[in-house]
Amino acid sequence: MPTRTKAFDTLLFRNNLSTWYTQHARKLPWRGIHNPYKTWVSEIMLQQTRVAAVIEHYHDFLTRFPTVTALAAASESDVLAAWSGLGYYRRARMMHKAAQFVAEHLDGIIPTTSTELRKLSGIGDYTCAAIASICYGESIAVVDGNVERVLLRITGRPEDTTSAGKAFIQQQAAALVPPRLIDDSTNAAGDHNQAMMELGATICLPRGPLCLQCPVYDLCITRGEHLTAPRGKARTLPAAYLLETRTRKHITEVLLEQRPAEASLMAGMYELPPLPADTVIGREPVLSLRHAITNTIYVVQIFESTDTTLRANIPASKTMLHWTSTAELAQLPLTGLARKVLQRLKIMSPRSQPQPLLEALNKS
Ligand code: SF4
């Protein structure tokens, strides 16, 4: 590595990392699987989403859409419903589009090289490298936020968001990836990439890195003294929503609002109708909770209405409001917050599962 005064021992780095990863890697549902579709699903879900939240959704999503052709055959609404709670719904839409492309133009076969994978909708540099290395052993570096942090600290290079800074990280990461060996039954590149990400996620933490447990401590220039730029402080915002239910012919229904198709966030998804802050002054909420979306923490209050007083204050037009039976909620693309609230209020079961797809699709 160029910033060192003596030669960097790449082989020692790889060996130490590999030994540590074999002994300490977390057991995650998508580890040890060399199925490109499943890896694709997990990698897309893991972008900007906590591992715990992905674990909750990964199996359910694959049960509902077990193959790329099953995903391609689903409606967008069904895909968004299965994605509900993971946030960043654009990821689900793009993956759905890419699955349709694979089904229609590639005979349902996912490409095997990073270059071909990169051409699919929603697959960027990170995802194509992850799938190609983990599933096909391609010797290509995977760089996510965790890997970038590890490399900055190991080299002692200051954080740099310019293209030169990005190129430097990419270059360092590429230099560390093991080559593909002929007749090698192991997957050195895929394992190395996963080990680098694991190191950043569990040892080389953003704040308070656990340097004394680090397998590459001897090769690291900064050892916990790297100046990491402070992250933007989270802001807090209040948010109020209406909960209105009714019973018709023994069926309980809840009033939902569909977000506009042109909304920049969560377009077309369903939520409880938002209420202006001044309409709930002096009222007691039936539920209060906090909900984080990127750098904002929403302090959410839910207000129940037994008459139409509150409903009259909903800014949305009537065409956006829908009475939905509680039995249908699991089929709808609900926002993560709506899902959380309806589950907390026991209007929706925590394990509500969408109807399984037709058996024919499962076999495809
Ligand atoms: S020694 Fe510390 S700072 Fe360096 S890579 Fe390991 S955990 Fe990160």
Which range has the worst mean pLDDT, 84-88, 183-187, 290-294, 319-323?
Answer: 183-187
Q: Are 269 and 259 in contact (CB under 8 A)?
A: yes
Q: Are 302 and 241 in contact (CB under 8 A)?
A: yes
Question: CA 39 to CA 135: how far, in whole Å?
Answer: 8
pTM of the model: 0.76
Which tokens is 286 given? 């039936």
The answer, yes or no, to whether residue 353 has pLDDT greater than 70, is: no
Q: Which residues pair with 293 in a beta bridge?
A: 296
pLDDT value of residue 356: 33
Sequence spans of domains, the chain: 10-219, 235-344
List the one residue out of 116, 107, 40, 29 whose CA is nearest residue 364: 107
Q: Which residues are catalytic?
A: 43
Expressed in angstroms and rounded, the spacing between residue 54 Cα and the centre of ligand 1 is 26
- C-alpha 120: how far from its chain's center? 18
Expressed in angstroms and rounded, the spacing between residue 5 Cα and the centre of ligand 1 is 18
User: Does residue 147's CB lie within 6 angstroms of at least one atom of ligand 1?
Assistant: no
Expressed in angstroms and rounded, the spacing between residue 206 Cα and the centre of ligand 1 is 10
Q: What is the mean pLDDT of residues 308-313?
A: 81
pLDDT value of residue 333: 86
User: Does residue 223's CB lie within 6 angstroms of at least one atom of ligand 1?
Assistant: yes
The answer, yes or no, to whether residue 121 has pLDDT greater than 50, is: yes
User: Does residue 220's CB lie within 6 angstroms of at least one atom of ligand 1?
Assistant: yes
Q: What is the mean pLDDT of residues 121-139?
A: 95
pLDDT value of residue 271: 94
- pLDDT tens figures, 259-279: 988 887 788 889 999 999 888
Which tokens is 214 given? 């680090």
Q: What are the percentages of helix, strand and coil residues in the chain, rounded to 5?
A: 45, 15, 45
User: Does residue 209's CB lie within 6 angstroms of at least one atom of ligand 1?
Assistant: yes
For residue 314, what pLDDT band results from cuts at 50, 70 and 90?
confident
Which has more confidence, 211 or 350? 211
Which has more confidence, 6 or 210? 210
Pairing of β 235-243 and β 296-304: parallel
Expressed in angstroms and rounded, the spacing between residue 165 Cα and the centre of ligand 1 is 19
CATH code reported for the domain at 10-219: 1.10.340.30
User: Does residue 204's CB lie within 6 angstroms of at least one atom of ligand 1?
Assistant: yes
**3-state SS string over 48-76?**
CCCHHHHHHHHHHHHHHCCCHHHHHHCCH
- pLDDT tens figures, 137-181: 999 999 999 999 999 999 988 888 889 999 999 999 999 999 987
pLDDT value of residue 358: 28
- pLDDT tens figures, 196-206: 999 999 999 98
- pLDDT tens figures, 174-204: 999 999 876 667 789 999 999 999 999 999 9
Expressed in angstroms and rounded, the spacing between residue 132 Cα and the centre of ligand 1 is 27
pLDDT value of residue 184: 63
Which residue's CA is the closest to the ligand 1 atom numbered 2? 211
User: Does residue 79's CB lie within 6 angstroms of at least one atom of ligand 1?
Assistant: no
Choosing among 3.90.79.10, 1.10.4080.10, 3.30.2130.10, 3.40.50.300, the CATH entry for 235-344 is: 3.90.79.10
304 membership: H or E segment, kind and range: strand 296-304
Which has more confidence, 137 or 352? 137
State the closest ligand 1 atom to the C-alpha of 217, by its place in the atom list counted from 1: 1
Q: Which residues pair with 31 in a beta bridge?
A: none
Expressed in angstroms and rounded, the spacing between residue 286 Cα and the centre of ligand 1 is 47
Which residue's CA is the closest to the ligand 1 atom numbered 8? 204
Which range has the worst mean pLDDT, 9-23, 76-90, 173-187?
Answer: 173-187
For residue 285, what pLDDT band results from cuts at 50, 70 and 90?
very high
User: Does residue 211's CB lie within 6 angstroms of at least one atom of ligand 1?
Assistant: yes
User: Does residue 202's CB lie within 6 angstroms of at least one atom of ligand 1?
Assistant: no
For residue 231, what pLDDT band results from cuts at 50, 70 and 90?
low
State the closest ligand 1 atom to the C-alpha of 226, by its place in the atom list counted from 1: 3
pLDDT value of residue 336: 83
State the closest ligand 1 atom to the C-alpha of 200, by its place in the atom list counted from 1: 8
Q: Are 153 and 222 in contact (CB under 8 A)?
A: yes
pLDDT value of residue 230: 55
State the closest ligand 1 atom to the C-alpha of 211, by its place in the atom list counted from 1: 2
